């Protein structure tokens, strides 16, 4: 069995750690690229959301590299993501490409037995003993948490760095170096070293950079290709960014969901404006906007794919928050037609606006 | 007190319940007029532009109604069957309205879970209490409302013409004649009868959806799929027309699942938004009927 999984930000790094640890061959789809999106759009219904299309591109490019099985997480509504797996299976049947799907759904939907049997389809291919399989999983989670932490740090410190571009350079070489080993323990070592390096980046504490929160639909904010690498661009501009939704956040949130103790702070912050979950991460988007204002950010950017249902609800609410709290929020919609030029112009204009606001406040006081 | 009920979204399916309930509680009920150009324009003006047509139209209904009533029903219908949803936009409907339309009167926005009678009653109790202290009155109003709802049988079942098509889609797209440009009448004029999902038994729909890999978790999508699959399998109709709104995330999925199921069976999607012209739609319907007619001979 040769396993692959669709791209979502840095998850491929954790996936590599997991499958290397299990001794199962893992085919990483080529990093997201234009061609993947083009292939995906060709095979997808026109009005399906962008993440679906990019994922199809990932599968097909992974098949070309020899993959025969894909794993992906499932969900049971209310949003479309829950139906992805079924539609994708139908598609691959129709175009006659062999691809075995393993969908990891919540036990509340498919029963614990079914979940166990699905997980077993993967683990039976590992010749390692059970105890070592568990170890591999633990290390993969650790890798994921580390890379998320590193990325978060780099995005934030980019506004304070003394040597321009240092954070971005470190982040990029970290992502490169960590793939150079097939031993999960070494991966952890490499990541920890980069974390230390980032901690000792020379920073200017008095700098007070523009700070922007990145909020919106989870795939399009985590997967840099889908948002035209907005976080990288903001690093170049010397803007500090923060994004609460990460793969490690998602795992924690999903595991805690049955207890209703997940993301309490976000839910509490959202409650005045949206008291109820609307599927996807619409409520989180509202809560994060409120939190960002409270934490002294200059503004927030909401990103979502064209036609994304939960985020359309949020988009209707955000202007009220913006007005009530005097907090600029910009919404960016992305799809396969989004052009680089227009996108950059809007981001730059938004940064300009935030800078002007600061100057006005200063001159007024 | 005057309560306003906007004639949009699931109004077409559940108005007897709401109307009877409020009337029995002694309120005066006002309803917005049938959808028209003015209502659509109001909706387009207020609603976020990324939304689908039915949602924009609902905004329009609220806008023309808001000054004519003291309190307005923005039904946050979360569920009509257990463990299923309708659409993410329904869950956030009151928030969308309140943040988009200025100077709203008081609104009724309490989530409605209608999966069981008991759950629905708890909604009725809470709303009733805003209006009267008399508990038995609320109970009576609720019971009456359910009886009226039960009596109401919307939908079409006309297979006495030469050809028959199944009309599939969300209830508001099927029943709002402004949205669908009066398609039923058009089809009848062409000698085509129409049937809708209301006339297929629940058990048959259940039967069909069992074939899916994943439990369908949107009620109306489940109905649409089950209905289409059933009329196809039992050859009850000559073709299927799906009325869909642009930017409807649910339809984009259901249409794929239906196509997958019915293969080459005659199927047409009519995608509608505020720019859809009547002439273009006519042409497509006529062409489809033409094709079906040739199939018969
Ligand atoms: S949340 Fe948005 S992007 Fe995700 S499945 Fe739903 S509509 Fe698609
Ligand atoms: S189901 Fe579709 S048409 Fe209905 S409100 Fe949701 S997105 Fe709009």
Do residues B11 and B126 both lie within one domain? Answer: yes
- Topology annotation, domain A209-365: Rossmann fold (3.40.50)
Asked whether residue B158 is assigned to any structural domain, the reply reads no
Q: Is B216 left (phi over 0), alpha (psi -120 to 50) or beta?
A: beta
Do residues B136 and B188 both lie within one domain? Answer: no
Asked whether residue B82 is assigned to any structural domain, the reply reads yes
For A3-126, CATH number out of 1.10.10, 3.40.50, 2.40.360, 3.40.30 equals: 3.40.50
- pTM score, whole prediction: 0.92
Q: Which sequence spans correspond to the domains of chain A? A: 3-126, 132-157+160-206, 209-365
Instruction: State residue A248's pLDDT score.
Output: 92
Task: Output the tens digit of pLDDT for each of chain A's 365 residues.
Answer: 899 999 999 999 999 999 999 999 999 999 999 999 999 999 998 889 999 999 999 999 999 999 999 998 876 656 788 888 888 999 998 888 888 999 888 777 788 888 888 888 888 888 888 889 999 999 999 999 999 999 999 999 999 999 999 999 999 999 999 999 999 999 999 999 999 999 999 999 999 999 999 999 999 999 999 999 999 999 999 999 999 999 999 888 888 887 888 888 999 999 999 988 898 899 999 999 999 999 999 999 999 999 999 999 999 999 999 999 999 999 999 998 888 889 999 999 999 999 999 888 766 65
Contact A278, A313 (CB under 8 A): yes
The whole-angstrom separation of Cα A16 and Cα A39 is: 24
Asked whether residue B182 is assigned to any structural domain, the reply reads yes
Chain segment B54-92, per-residue pLDDT in tens: 999 999 999 999 999 999 999 999 999 988 889 999 999
Provide the domain limits for residue B263: 163-294
Asked whether residue B263 is assigned to any structural domain, the reply reads yes
> What ipTM goes with this model?
0.90
* Rg (alpha carbons) of chain A, rounded to whole number: 21
Buried-exposed string B64-92: b where 16+ CB fall within 10 A, e elsewhere: bbbeebebbbbbbbbbbbeebbbbbbbbb
Do residues B11 and B124 both lie within one domain? Answer: yes
Q: Is A217 in the pocket of ligand 1 (CB under 6 A)?
A: yes
Strand ranges, E, within A282-335: 299-305, 329-334
**Residue whose entry in the numeric block shows the structure tokens 């004519």:** B68
Asked whether residue B156 is assigned to any structural domain, the reply reads no
For residue A271, count CB atoms less than 10 angstroms from its CB and return exposed for 0-12, middle for 13-18, buried for 19 or more. middle
Coil, strand or helix at A129:
coil
The pocket around ligand 2, CB under 6 angstroms, is made up of A 309; B 52, 54-55, 87, 89, 170, 245, 248-251
Do residues B174 and B104 both lie within one domain? Answer: no
Asked whether residue B108 is assigned to any structural domain, the reply reads yes
Do residues B146 and B168 both lie within one domain? Answer: no
What angle, 0 to 180 degrees and rounded to 10, lies between the N-to-C axes of helices B249-262 and A81-94? Answer: 30
Distance, in angstroms, between B253 CA and closest chain A CA?
7
Do residues B222 and B270 both lie within one domain? Answer: yes
**Which of the listed residues B151, B186, B216 is the one where a domain comes to its end?**
B151
Chain segment A210-236, per-residue pLDDT in tens: 999 999 999 999 999 999 999 999 999
Asked whether residue B249 is assigned to any structural domain, the reply reads yes
- Tokens of residue B188, six digits: 């009848």
- Tokens of residue B161, six digits: 């013409």
Asked whether residue B184 is assigned to any structural domain, the reply reads yes
The whole-angstrom separation of Cα B292 and Cα B297 is: 9
- Decide if A73 touches B, using CB distance below 8 A: no
Residues 6 or more apart whose CB falls under 8 angstroms from that of A27 comprise A2, A3, A4, A62, A65, A66, A67
Q: What is the domain-level CATH number for residue B249?
A: 3.40.50.11900
Chain segment A15-72, per-residue pLDDT in tens: 999 999 999 999 999 999 999 999 999 999 888 999 999 999 999 999 999 999 999 8
Contact A10, A247 (CB under 8 A): yes
Distance, in angstroms, between B264 CA and closest chain A CA?
13
Distance, in angstroms, between B225 CA and closest chain A CA?
13
User: Residue A315 is nearest to which of B48, B249, B253, comparing CB atoms?
Assistant: B48
**Count of structural domains, chain B:** 2
CA of A45 to the centre of ligand 1 (A): 14
Do residues B183 and B261 both lie within one domain? Answer: yes
Q: Return the residue in B54, B88, B104, B264 with the most chain A beta carbons within 10 A, the one to mutate for interface testing.
A: B88
Nearest CA in chain B to A322: B99
Cβ-based contacts of A78 with chain B (< 8 Å): 85-88, 91, 217-218
């Amino acid at each position: 069995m040769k396993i692959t999984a669709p791209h979502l930000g840095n998850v491929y790094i954790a996936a590599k750690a997991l499958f290397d640890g299990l001794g199962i061959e893992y085919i990483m789809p080529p990093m997201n690229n234009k061609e993947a999106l083009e292939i995906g759009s060709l095979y997808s219904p026109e009005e399906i959301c962008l993440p679906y299309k990019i994922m199809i591109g990932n599968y097909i490019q992974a098949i070309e590299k020899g993959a025969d099985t894909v794993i992906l997480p499932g969900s049971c509504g209310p949003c479309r993501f829950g139906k992805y797996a079924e539609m994708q299976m139908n598609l691959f049947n129709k175009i006659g490409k062999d691809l075995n799907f393993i969908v990891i759904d919540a036990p509340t939907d498919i029963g614990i037995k079914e979940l166990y049997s699905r997980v077993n389809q993967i683990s039976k291919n590992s010749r390692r003993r059970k105890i070592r399989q568990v170890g591999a999983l633990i290390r993969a989670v650790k890798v994921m948490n580390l890379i998320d932490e590193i990325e978060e740090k780099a995005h934030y410190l980019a506004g304070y760095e003394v040597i321009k571009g240092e954070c971005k350079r470190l982040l990029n070489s970290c992502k490169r170096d960590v793939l150079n080993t097939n031993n999960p323990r070494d991966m952890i070592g490499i990541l920890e070293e980069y974390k230390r390096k980032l901690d000792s980046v020379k920073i200017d504490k008095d700098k007070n950079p523009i700070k922007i929160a990145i909020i919106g639909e989870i795939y399009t904010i985590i997967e840099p290709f889908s948002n035209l690498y907005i976080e990288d661009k903001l690093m170049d501009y010397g803007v500090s960014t923060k994004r609460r939704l990460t793969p490690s956040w998602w795992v924690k949130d999903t595991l805690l969901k049955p207890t209703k103790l997940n993301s309490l702070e976000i839910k509490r912050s959202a409650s005045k404006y949206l008291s109820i979950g609307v599927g996807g991460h619409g409520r989180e988007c509202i809560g994060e906007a409120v939190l960002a204002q409270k934490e002294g950010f200059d503004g927030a950017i909401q990103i979502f794919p064209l036609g994304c249902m939960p985020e359309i609800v949020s988009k209707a609410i955000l202007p009220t928050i913006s007005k009530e709290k005097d907090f600029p929020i910009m919404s960016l919609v992305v799809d396969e037609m989004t052009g680089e030029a227009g996108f950059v112009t809007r981001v730059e204009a938004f940064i300009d606006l935030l800078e002007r606001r600061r100057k006005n406040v200063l001159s007024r006081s | 007190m005057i309560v306003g009920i906007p004639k949009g979204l699931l109004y077409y399916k559940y108005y007897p319940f709401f109307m009877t309930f409020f009337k029995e509680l002694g309120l005066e009920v006002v309803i917005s007029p049938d959808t028209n150009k003015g209502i659509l324009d109001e909706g387009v003006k207020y609603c976020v532009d990324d939304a689908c047509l039915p949602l924009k139209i609902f905004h329009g209904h609220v806008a023309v109604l808001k000054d004519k009533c003291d309190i307005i029903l923005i039904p946050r219908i979360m569920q009509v069957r257990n463990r299923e949803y309708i659409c993410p936009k329904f869950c956030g409907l009151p928030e969308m309205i309140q943040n988009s339309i200025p100077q709203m009167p008081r609104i009724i926005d309490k989530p409605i879970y209608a999966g069981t009678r008991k759950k629905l009653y708890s909604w009725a109790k809470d709303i009733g209490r805003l209006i009267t202290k008399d508990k038995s009155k609320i109970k009576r109003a609720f019971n009456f409302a359910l009886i009226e709802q039960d009596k109401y049988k919307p939908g079409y079942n006309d297979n006495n013409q030469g050809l028959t098509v199944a009309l599939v889609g969300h209830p508001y797209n099927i029943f709002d004649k402004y949205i669908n440009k009066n398609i039923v009448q058009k089809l009848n004029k062409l000698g085509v009868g129409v049937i809708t999902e209301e006339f297929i038994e629940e058990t048959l729909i259940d039967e069909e959806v069992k074939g899916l890999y994943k439990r369908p978790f949107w009620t109306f999508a489940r109905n649409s799929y089950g209905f289409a699959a059933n009329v196809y399998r039992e050859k009850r109709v000559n073709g299927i027309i799906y009325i869909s709104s642009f930017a409807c995330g649910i339809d984009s999925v259901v249409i794929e699942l239906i196509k997958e199921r019915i293969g080459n069976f005659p199927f047409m999607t009519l995608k509608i938004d505020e720019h859809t012209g009547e002439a273009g739609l006519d042409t497509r319907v006529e062409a489809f009927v033409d094709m079906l007619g040739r199939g018969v001979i």
